Amino acid sequence: MKTEDLSELEILDETSIVQTLRCRFNKDIFYTYIGEILVAINPCKPLHLFDEKNHHDYKNLTVRSQRPPHLFWVADQAFRAMQDTKRNQCILVSGESGAGKTESTKYMIQHLMKLSPSDDESLLDKIVQVLFSIMTLFSEINQKLVYIISL
């Protein structure tokens, strides 16, 4: 089953989505598009998808279908849109606890840093520190909301 964009399935329902994602996962394919959305499934093992070759392959890629689905495509598109429009861009990373949101975000930031003209070697560490602070804050707020709602 060679479906890299689930929106192209003949039948788009929960069963066909889960079946396709399971099939791709069993073939060690962890990224899939649904239209403009990238679905990432945490493989719970180290991957070799984030090396220099992949940074290069996704840099300035204009036709998405020329490469398999990847976090770097999302990061590259946001970077290019920011340059073209001169406006801030947002990438929404969502998922359950342990789904790999932090790792995915770090890889996208790493790719953005390769695209940007900064020579600051410690920039990734600084960004990740800020990211963890923000994520901790959101987690605390979410826990308080869940507690309040359960009352």
The annotated binding site is made up of 95-102
Contact 98, 42 (CB under 8 A): yes
Contact 32, 69 (CB under 8 A): yes
Residues 6+ apart with CB under 8 A from 95: 40, 101
Residues 149 and 45: their CA atoms lie apart, in Å, by 36
Counting Cα atoms < 13 Å in the Cβ hemisphere of 18 gives 3
Among the listed residues 150, 149, 80, the one whose alpha carbon sits nearest the alpha carbon of residue 112: 80
The annotated binding site for ATP is made up of 95-102
Please name the residue that has the structure tokens 């969502």.
94
Using only C-alpha atoms, the chain has a radius of gyration, in whole angstroms, of 17
For 1-122, where are the alpha helices, taking DSSP H only? 14-26, 52-58, 71-85, 101-115
